[in-house]
Structure 1
Amino acid sequence: MTDIDAREDTESKERGLLGYIGLGLSWGLLALVSLVAVLVVLLPAVTGSTPYTIITSSMEPSYPAGTLVIVRPVEPDDVRIGSVITYQLESGKAEVVTHRVVEIIQPSVPGEEPRFVTKGDANGVPDEEPVMEVQLRGEVWYSVPWIGWVNNVVNGDMRAVIIPIVAGVLFLYAGYQVVSAVVQRRRERAPSSAGTGASAGA
């Protein structure tokens, strides 16, 4: 083998290695986007849950600002001390807070509903007003770090459209990388096979 052949062989191997690295990164990114799509769009839609973004530091370190929390409906009787609930600051208003239940005030007379004393994990004192059942939006089911800021920018119907599009683009890119790698390997083998046949016939 000449120096030129050796250099070409080395360059070919380097290109092949870079191609495999790019392919692995593409599939890894595709898997990550698909997982996020399932956690942020599919599961909440199937279970009737709602995604909310933590925008303050009151629940650190459990839920830092920017965390996306998936809140599923919960019966008031199923709320326990230690549960992390999302509730309206005022009944019927859109503004909500996500804090931990630290005490349950049981009704003192028949017909009254229990109320929930809440507190942010990072706060020194409980919230001023107990939460009534009518304010309760649900209990935190699971959380996804950092995705909350994206959720604030891309929300509602737009999120349900954009994430599948991004996943589709990444899937096509990964497919292109696979095809390119296969074609490259065939091109690399073709000259070698042709050279072996010529030597045998001579």
Structure 2
Amino acid sequence: MTDRAAGLGAAPRRSALGRAAMALLVLLTLVAVAGGVVAWTQGYRLYAVRTGSMAPAYPTGTLVVVAPLAQEVPTTGSVITFRIGDGLVTHRVFATSAGGLTTRGDANPSPDAWTLPLDRVVGSVVAAVPNGGYILVFFKQPTGALTLVSGLVSLTLLWTLFFPGGEPAPGAERAPRPVHARA
């Protein structure tokens, strides 16, 4: 077998491996998107912790996953996200009473000044990703999605530049290789 014949078998193998890797990446992306859609329809939401009031458990920049309440009244010690005015706050339940909930941030020395009605509770925190909130805030900005799209286009163009398609078509002539003279 000649060197040229051995080289022809390598390109289809690399191409098949590349296609398999791309198919796996697409499959994983579709599974992640489908899982996100299902979680969203079930009431799960993602929020970024913007202050240090819940440190050290949830420091600034933490991404929290909030699920709808599993029970009617959150228990003392559970971490909840609730609406105050136009904003959202994530604090721990300090006490419960007939009038509502008293909350407190872990880093705060005293409970919050308000009694929280139960209808203001968005849900309870079920998971957290340290520093993941920064990514969420970035992609909520108008330039965040544009940056993602332009980055993906750039990567695709660079990939085709450095890893061009397989072998030339049968019958197509190859450009001759330059011959370097030795001195």
TM over 0.5: yes
TM-score, normalised to structure 2, is 0.57
Residues 132-171 of structure 1 mapped to structure 2, 5 A cutoff: 132-155=117-140
1:46 to partner: Cα distance: 4.3
In structure 2, give the amino acid aligned to 1:102.
F
Q: Deviations over 1:7-31 (max 9, x none)?
A: xxxxxxxxxxxxxxxx9xx99xx7x
Alignment-derived partner of residue 118 in structure 1: 103
- Which consecutive residues of structure 1, in runs of 5 or more, have no partner in the other structure? 1-22, 108-113, 184-202
TM-score by length of 1: 0.52
**SS of 1:134 mapped into structure 2:** helix
Deviating beyond 3 angstroms after TM superposition, the runs of 4 or more aligned structure 1 residues are 40-44
The aligned residue for residue 86 of structure 2 is 94
By relative contact order (CA 8 Å, sep 6+), the higher-ranking structure is 1
Contact 2:61 2:130 in 1 (8 A): yes
Deviation at residue 42 of structure 1 after TM alignment: 4.5
CA distance 1:76–1:87, change in 2 (3 Å)? farther
Deviation at 1:133, TM superposition (A): 1.2
Contact map agreement 1:84 1:140 (CA 8 A) in 2: yes
1:72 deviation in Å? 1.3
Among 117, 122, 127, the residue aligned to 2:112: 127
Pairwise CA distance, 1:165: 7.1
2:40 partner SS: helix
Q: Can you give the 5+ residue segments of structure 2 that lack an aligned partner in the other structure? A: 1-17, 167-183
Deviations, residues 17-74 of structure 1 (Å, cap 9, x unaligned): xxxxxx9xx99xx7xx96xx56x94463242211111011111111111111111111
Question: Contact 1:51–1:71 (CA<8 Å) still a contact in 2?
Answer: yes
Tell me the equivalent position of 1:49.
44
Measured after TM superposition, the shift of residue 102 of structure 1 is 1.2
Amino acid at match of 1:103: A
Quote how far apart the aligned CAs of 1:120 are. 0.5
Q: Number of matched residues?
A: 142
State the match for 2:76 in structure 1: 81
CA separation in 1, counterparts of 2:82 and 2:95? 15
Q: How far is 1:94 from its partner?
A: 3.1
